Homo-oligomer: A and B are copies of this chain.
Amino acid sequence: MIPIRILSDNDVKNILDIKNTVKCVEKAYALKANNQVRLFPMVSEVIFEGRAEMDIKSGMLKEEDVFGLKLVSWFSDNKNQGLPAITGLTMLFDLKNGFPKAMINASYLTGMRTGAAGSIGVKHLSKQDSKTLMIVGTGVQAIFQIAATLSQVQTINKVYIYDPVKYENASKFEYSIKAELDKIINDINDTNNKSWKQRIESVQFVAVENPVKALEETDAVITITPSQKPLIFKEWTKPGIHFSCVGADMTGKQEIDEKIFEVASVYVDDITQASTVGETQSAIRASILGKNNLTEIGQFILGNAKGRTSDEEITIFDSTGIALQDLAVSKYIVSKAEEMNVGTIVYI
Protein backbone atom coordinates (compact mmCIF):
# COMPACT_ATOMS: atom_id res chain seq x y z
CA MET A 1 0.00 0.00 0.00
CA ILE A 2 1.24 3.44 -0.95
CA PRO A 3 0.72 6.40 1.41
CA ILE A 4 -0.68 9.55 -0.20
CA ARG A 5 -0.97 12.86 1.62
CA ILE A 6 -4.26 14.64 0.92
CA LEU A 7 -4.29 18.40 1.47
CA SER A 8 -7.51 20.39 1.48
CA ASP A 9 -7.77 24.04 0.54
CA ASN A 10 -7.82 24.92 4.25
CA ASP A 11 -4.66 22.90 4.83
CA VAL A 12 -2.97 24.87 2.05
CA LYS A 13 -4.18 28.21 3.46
CA ASN A 14 -2.64 27.30 6.81
CA ILE A 15 0.83 26.46 5.53
CA LEU A 16 1.46 28.40 2.32
CA ASP A 17 2.88 31.91 2.67
CA ILE A 18 3.62 34.48 0.00
CA LYS A 19 7.38 34.57 0.56
CA ASN A 20 7.88 30.86 -0.05
CA THR A 21 5.43 30.83 -2.96
CA VAL A 22 7.45 33.53 -4.71
CA LYS A 23 10.68 31.64 -4.00
CA CYS A 24 9.19 28.47 -5.52
CA VAL A 25 7.94 30.23 -8.64
CA GLU A 26 11.27 32.02 -9.17
CA LYS A 27 13.01 28.68 -8.76
CA ALA A 28 10.65 27.05 -11.28
CA TYR A 29 11.45 29.81 -13.80
CA ALA A 30 15.18 29.41 -13.21
CA LEU A 31 15.08 25.60 -13.46
CA LYS A 32 13.13 25.92 -16.70
CA ALA A 33 15.72 28.28 -18.17
CA ASN A 34 18.39 25.85 -17.03
CA ASN A 35 16.69 22.87 -18.71
CA GLN A 36 16.26 21.15 -15.36
CA VAL A 37 12.56 20.65 -16.01
CA ARG A 38 10.16 19.32 -18.61
CA LEU A 39 6.72 20.48 -19.63
CA PHE A 40 4.54 17.69 -21.05
CA PRO A 41 1.93 18.41 -23.74
CA MET A 42 -1.17 20.10 -22.37
CA VAL A 43 -4.58 18.46 -22.64
CA SER A 44 -7.17 21.20 -23.05
CA GLU A 45 -10.73 20.16 -23.82
CA VAL A 46 -14.12 21.78 -24.13
CA ILE A 47 -16.57 19.56 -22.23
CA PHE A 48 -19.75 21.48 -23.05
CA GLU A 49 -19.42 24.32 -25.57
CA GLY A 50 -19.33 27.66 -23.78
CA ARG A 51 -20.23 26.10 -20.42
CA ALA A 52 -17.55 23.68 -19.32
CA GLU A 53 -13.87 23.06 -19.98
CA MET A 54 -11.05 21.11 -18.38
CA ASP A 55 -7.33 21.03 -18.82
CA ILE A 56 -4.50 18.85 -17.62
CA LYS A 57 -1.06 20.45 -17.35
CA SER A 58 1.78 18.13 -16.48
CA GLY A 59 5.54 18.11 -16.25
CA MET A 60 8.55 17.20 -14.14
CA LEU A 61 11.01 18.99 -11.87
CA LYS A 62 14.18 16.94 -11.81
CA GLU A 63 15.90 18.80 -8.98
CA GLU A 64 12.83 18.45 -6.79
CA ASP A 65 12.48 14.73 -7.57
CA VAL A 66 8.83 15.05 -8.62
CA PHE A 67 6.58 14.85 -11.61
CA GLY A 68 2.90 15.54 -11.64
CA LEU A 69 -0.14 17.20 -13.03
CA LYS A 70 -2.73 19.83 -12.34
CA LEU A 71 -6.27 19.24 -13.52
CA VAL A 72 -8.44 22.34 -13.59
CA SER A 73 -12.09 22.35 -14.57
CA TRP A 74 -14.40 25.26 -15.30
CA PHE A 75 -18.17 24.70 -15.12
CA SER A 76 -19.93 28.05 -15.47
CA ASP A 77 -23.36 26.75 -14.38
CA ASN A 78 -21.96 26.01 -10.91
CA LYS A 79 -22.49 29.66 -10.03
CA ASN A 80 -26.27 29.16 -10.23
CA GLN A 81 -25.98 26.69 -7.37
CA GLY A 82 -23.58 28.78 -5.35
CA LEU A 83 -20.67 26.47 -6.20
CA PRO A 84 -17.28 27.64 -7.44
CA ALA A 85 -17.02 27.55 -11.25
CA ILE A 86 -13.35 26.60 -11.11
CA THR A 87 -12.00 23.59 -9.24
CA GLY A 88 -8.58 22.13 -9.51
CA LEU A 89 -6.21 19.71 -7.94
CA THR A 90 -2.58 18.79 -8.30
CA MET A 91 -1.21 15.28 -8.06
CA LEU A 92 2.44 14.84 -7.18
CA PHE A 93 4.46 11.70 -7.98
CA ASP A 94 7.87 10.57 -6.83
CA LEU A 95 10.53 10.75 -9.54
CA LYS A 96 12.45 7.93 -7.82
CA ASN A 97 9.75 5.25 -8.26
CA GLY A 98 6.67 6.73 -9.92
CA PHE A 99 4.55 6.34 -6.79
CA PRO A 100 1.89 8.94 -6.02
CA LYS A 101 2.92 11.23 -3.15
CA ALA A 102 0.18 13.77 -2.67
CA MET A 103 -3.11 15.18 -3.87
CA ILE A 104 -3.67 18.86 -3.19
CA ASN A 105 -6.70 21.09 -3.67
CA ALA A 106 -5.33 23.61 -6.13
CA SER A 107 -7.75 26.53 -5.63
CA TYR A 108 -5.77 28.61 -3.14
CA LEU A 109 -2.51 27.26 -4.55
CA THR A 110 -3.42 28.60 -8.01
CA GLY A 111 -4.29 32.03 -6.64
CA MET A 112 -1.00 32.18 -4.74
CA ARG A 113 1.24 30.97 -7.55
CA THR A 114 -0.45 33.30 -10.03
CA GLY A 115 -0.07 36.22 -7.64
CA ALA A 116 3.58 35.31 -7.22
CA ALA A 117 4.07 35.36 -10.99
CA GLY A 118 2.61 38.86 -11.42
CA SER A 119 4.67 40.17 -8.50
CA ILE A 120 7.89 38.68 -9.87
CA GLY A 121 7.43 40.80 -12.99
CA VAL A 122 7.00 43.96 -10.92
CA LYS A 123 9.87 43.07 -8.57
CA HIS A 124 12.45 42.41 -11.29
CA LEU A 125 11.32 44.66 -14.13
CA SER A 126 9.66 47.79 -12.73
CA LYS A 127 11.69 50.88 -11.84
CA GLN A 128 13.72 50.56 -8.65
CA ASP A 129 11.73 53.14 -6.69
CA SER A 130 8.27 52.14 -7.96
CA LYS A 131 5.68 53.64 -5.64
CA THR A 132 2.35 53.12 -7.34
CA LEU A 133 0.71 49.93 -8.55
CA MET A 134 -2.47 49.71 -10.61
CA ILE A 135 -4.45 46.49 -10.58
CA VAL A 136 -6.78 45.98 -13.55
CA GLY A 137 -9.53 43.51 -12.68
CA THR A 138 -11.21 42.75 -9.35
CA GLY A 139 -12.02 39.04 -9.65
CA VAL A 140 -10.95 36.31 -7.22
CA GLN A 141 -7.34 36.40 -8.44
CA ALA A 142 -6.75 40.14 -7.93
CA ILE A 143 -6.11 39.99 -4.18
CA PHE A 144 -3.23 37.54 -4.65
CA GLN A 145 -1.56 39.84 -7.19
CA ILE A 146 -1.71 42.76 -4.79
CA ALA A 147 -0.63 40.71 -1.79
CA ALA A 148 2.40 39.25 -3.54
CA THR A 149 3.45 42.60 -4.98
CA LEU A 150 3.18 44.41 -1.64
CA SER A 151 5.17 41.59 -0.08
CA GLN A 152 7.91 41.70 -2.69
CA VAL A 153 8.17 45.39 -3.55
CA GLN A 154 8.51 47.41 -0.37
CA THR A 155 8.59 50.81 -2.09
CA ILE A 156 4.97 50.56 -3.26
CA ASN A 157 2.72 52.66 -1.05
CA LYS A 158 -0.30 53.25 -3.28
CA VAL A 159 -2.53 50.82 -5.18
CA TYR A 160 -5.04 51.99 -7.76
CA ILE A 161 -7.90 49.56 -8.29
CA TYR A 162 -9.53 49.64 -11.69
CA ASP A 163 -12.37 47.41 -12.82
CA PRO A 164 -12.92 47.69 -16.57
CA VAL A 165 -16.51 46.44 -16.28
CA LYS A 166 -17.99 48.39 -13.37
CA TYR A 167 -16.64 51.03 -10.98
CA GLU A 168 -18.75 49.59 -8.13
CA ASN A 169 -16.68 46.40 -8.27
CA ALA A 170 -13.52 48.43 -7.67
CA SER A 171 -15.13 50.41 -4.92
CA LYS A 172 -16.38 47.25 -3.14
CA PHE A 173 -12.96 45.71 -3.57
CA GLU A 174 -11.30 48.76 -2.00
CA TYR A 175 -13.64 48.56 0.98
CA SER A 176 -12.71 45.00 1.95
CA ILE A 177 -9.12 44.85 0.73
CA LYS A 178 -7.22 45.24 4.00
CA ALA A 179 -9.20 42.46 5.70
CA GLU A 180 -8.73 40.20 2.67
CA LEU A 181 -4.99 40.85 2.52
CA ASP A 182 -4.69 40.04 6.20
CA LYS A 183 -6.21 36.57 5.55
CA ILE A 184 -3.15 35.70 3.50
CA ILE A 185 0.01 34.67 5.33
CA ASN A 186 2.95 36.72 4.11
CA ASP A 187 5.69 34.98 6.05
CA ILE A 188 5.03 31.78 7.99
CA ASN A 189 7.60 32.93 10.57
CA ASP A 190 5.86 36.28 11.15
CA THR A 191 3.57 35.29 14.05
CA ASN A 192 -0.04 36.48 13.60
CA ASN A 193 0.99 38.36 10.45
CA LYS A 194 2.33 41.14 12.69
CA SER A 195 4.74 42.80 10.24
CA TRP A 196 2.34 42.06 7.40
CA LYS A 197 -0.46 44.00 9.12
CA GLN A 198 1.88 46.99 9.39
CA ARG A 199 2.83 46.68 5.74
CA ILE A 200 -0.86 46.63 4.71
CA GLU A 201 -1.56 49.69 6.85
CA SER A 202 1.26 51.60 5.17
CA VAL A 203 -0.46 51.40 1.78
CA GLN A 204 -3.18 53.62 0.34
CA PHE A 205 -5.81 51.80 -1.74
CA VAL A 206 -7.82 53.87 -4.20
CA ALA A 207 -10.61 52.67 -6.50
CA VAL A 208 -10.58 54.60 -9.76
CA GLU A 209 -13.38 55.05 -12.27
CA ASN A 210 -11.15 56.22 -15.10
CA PRO A 211 -7.65 54.79 -15.35
CA VAL A 212 -6.16 57.53 -17.56
CA LYS A 213 -5.37 60.06 -14.86
CA ALA A 214 -4.22 57.39 -12.38
CA LEU A 215 -1.85 55.97 -15.00
CA GLU A 216 0.06 59.27 -15.01
CA GLU A 217 1.50 58.41 -11.62
CA THR A 218 1.47 54.59 -11.95
CA ASP A 219 4.81 52.78 -12.05
CA ALA A 220 3.56 49.22 -12.48
CA VAL A 221 0.32 47.71 -13.79
CA ILE A 222 -0.92 44.18 -13.26
CA THR A 223 -3.75 43.04 -15.53
CA ILE A 224 -5.77 40.08 -14.31
CA THR A 225 -9.02 39.84 -16.29
CA PRO A 226 -10.57 37.42 -18.82
CA SER A 227 -10.68 40.25 -21.42
CA GLN A 228 -10.55 39.64 -25.15
CA LYS A 229 -9.82 43.26 -26.07
CA PRO A 230 -7.34 45.91 -24.92
CA LEU A 231 -8.24 47.69 -21.67
CA ILE A 232 -5.16 49.94 -21.44
CA PHE A 233 -4.06 51.93 -24.49
CA LYS A 234 -0.66 53.07 -25.64
CA GLU A 235 -1.64 56.76 -25.52
CA TRP A 236 -2.31 56.44 -21.79
CA THR A 237 1.07 55.04 -20.86
CA LYS A 238 4.13 56.99 -19.83
CA PRO A 239 7.82 56.11 -20.19
CA GLY A 240 9.21 53.81 -17.51
CA ILE A 241 5.99 51.94 -16.78
CA HIS A 242 5.94 48.18 -16.21
CA PHE A 243 3.12 45.76 -17.12
CA SER A 244 2.64 42.28 -15.66
CA CYS A 245 -0.04 40.78 -17.92
CA VAL A 246 -1.47 37.77 -16.16
CA GLY A 247 -5.01 37.30 -17.49
CA ALA A 248 -4.36 35.98 -20.99
CA ASP A 249 -4.01 32.20 -21.10
CA MET A 250 -6.09 31.23 -24.14
CA THR A 251 -6.29 32.06 -27.82
CA GLY A 252 -8.17 35.33 -28.32
CA LYS A 253 -7.45 36.86 -24.92
CA GLN A 254 -5.94 40.35 -24.71
CA GLU A 255 -5.66 42.97 -21.94
CA ILE A 256 -3.36 45.72 -23.20
CA ASP A 257 -2.98 47.54 -26.52
CA GLU A 258 -0.69 45.49 -28.74
CA LYS A 259 0.98 48.79 -29.80
CA ILE A 260 2.59 49.00 -26.36
CA PHE A 261 4.74 46.05 -27.47
CA GLU A 262 6.27 48.34 -30.15
CA VAL A 263 8.10 50.30 -27.46
CA ALA A 264 8.56 47.69 -24.72
CA SER A 265 11.08 45.08 -23.64
CA VAL A 266 9.15 41.85 -23.39
CA TYR A 267 9.70 39.04 -20.87
CA VAL A 268 7.59 35.89 -20.70
CA ASP A 269 7.30 32.72 -18.61
CA ASP A 270 7.33 30.40 -21.63
CA ILE A 271 8.01 31.59 -25.18
CA THR A 272 5.73 29.02 -26.86
CA GLN A 273 2.78 29.57 -24.54
CA ALA A 274 3.17 33.35 -24.45
CA SER A 275 3.24 33.69 -28.22
CA THR A 276 0.23 31.43 -28.76
CA VAL A 277 -2.09 31.87 -25.77
CA GLY A 278 -0.59 34.73 -23.72
CA GLU A 279 -0.79 38.52 -23.93
CA THR A 280 2.00 38.43 -26.50
CA GLN A 281 -0.16 36.57 -29.07
CA SER A 282 -1.80 39.79 -30.38
CA ALA A 283 1.55 41.52 -30.91
CA ILE A 284 2.90 38.41 -32.66
CA ARG A 285 -0.21 38.24 -34.86
CA ALA A 286 0.17 41.94 -35.71
CA SER A 287 3.84 41.26 -36.62
CA ILE A 288 4.94 43.84 -34.05
CA LEU A 289 7.48 41.38 -32.76
CA GLY A 290 8.69 37.83 -33.30
CA LYS A 291 9.50 35.01 -30.93
CA ASN A 292 13.17 36.04 -31.00
CA ASN A 293 12.23 39.33 -29.33
CA LEU A 294 11.02 37.48 -26.25
CA THR A 295 13.13 36.73 -23.19
CA GLU A 296 12.13 34.04 -20.73
CA ILE A 297 12.19 35.56 -17.26
CA GLY A 298 14.11 32.53 -15.99
CA GLN A 299 17.06 33.64 -18.12
CA PHE A 300 16.99 37.00 -16.32
CA ILE A 301 16.73 35.31 -12.91
CA LEU A 302 19.73 33.15 -13.81
CA GLY A 303 21.70 36.24 -14.85
CA ASN A 304 21.83 35.19 -18.50
CA ALA A 305 19.68 38.06 -19.78
CA LYS A 306 19.58 41.73 -18.94
CA GLY A 307 16.56 43.37 -17.34
CA ARG A 308 15.45 47.01 -17.38
CA THR A 309 18.28 49.36 -18.46
CA SER A 310 16.78 52.81 -17.78
CA ASP A 311 13.97 54.60 -15.98
CA GLU A 312 12.40 55.45 -19.35
CA GLU A 313 12.18 51.87 -20.64
CA ILE A 314 8.76 50.24 -20.80
CA THR A 315 8.75 46.59 -19.70
CA ILE A 316 6.18 43.84 -20.06
CA PHE A 317 6.07 40.48 -18.30
CA ASP A 318 3.61 38.07 -19.93
CA SER A 319 2.70 35.31 -17.45
CA THR A 320 0.61 32.54 -19.00
CA GLY A 321 0.95 30.06 -16.15
CA ILE A 322 3.02 26.91 -16.46
CA ALA A 323 2.68 23.53 -14.78
CA LEU A 324 6.13 23.96 -13.24
CA GLN A 325 4.86 26.75 -10.98
CA ASP A 326 2.21 24.37 -9.67
CA LEU A 327 4.66 21.53 -9.25
CA ALA A 328 7.25 23.64 -7.46
CA VAL A 329 4.69 25.15 -5.09
CA SER A 330 3.01 21.75 -4.58
CA LYS A 331 6.35 20.19 -3.69
CA TYR A 332 6.97 22.96 -1.16
CA ILE A 333 3.47 22.53 0.31
CA VAL A 334 4.02 18.79 0.75
CA SER A 335 7.39 19.30 2.47
CA LYS A 336 5.86 21.88 4.78
CA ALA A 337 2.85 19.63 5.46
CA GLU A 338 5.17 16.77 6.41
CA GLU A 339 7.10 19.08 8.75
CA MET A 340 3.93 20.51 10.33
CA ASN A 341 1.99 17.24 10.20
CA VAL A 342 -0.85 18.76 8.22
CA GLY A 343 -3.31 16.86 6.01
CA THR A 344 -4.65 13.34 5.86
CA ILE A 345 -2.63 10.27 4.93
CA VAL A 346 -4.50 7.61 2.99
CA TYR A 347 -3.12 4.32 1.71
CA ILE A 348 -3.98 3.12 -1.75
Contact = CB atoms under 8 A, between A and B. Distances in A.
A175 interface: no
- Copy number in the complex reads 2
A246 interface: no
Interface string A63-103: 00001010101110110010100010101010111111001
Nearest to A8: B348
In this complex, the member of A9, A58, A89, A348 whose beta carbon has the largest number of chain B beta carbons within 10 angstroms is A348
Contact of A105 (B71, B78, B98, B348): B348
A7 interface: yes
A140 to B, nearest CB: 16
A40 to B, nearest CB: 5
A6 interface: yes
Contacts of A52: 98
Interface stretch (A41-49, A234-242, A290-298): A41-49
Contacts of A73: 93, 98-99
Nearest to A78: B97
Contact of A43 (B10, B56, B105, B348): B56
A89 B98 contact: no
B93 A54 contact: yes
Given A8-B348, A89-B100, 6 more contacts: A2-B105, A4-B6, A6-B346, A40-B43, A87-B97, A346-B346
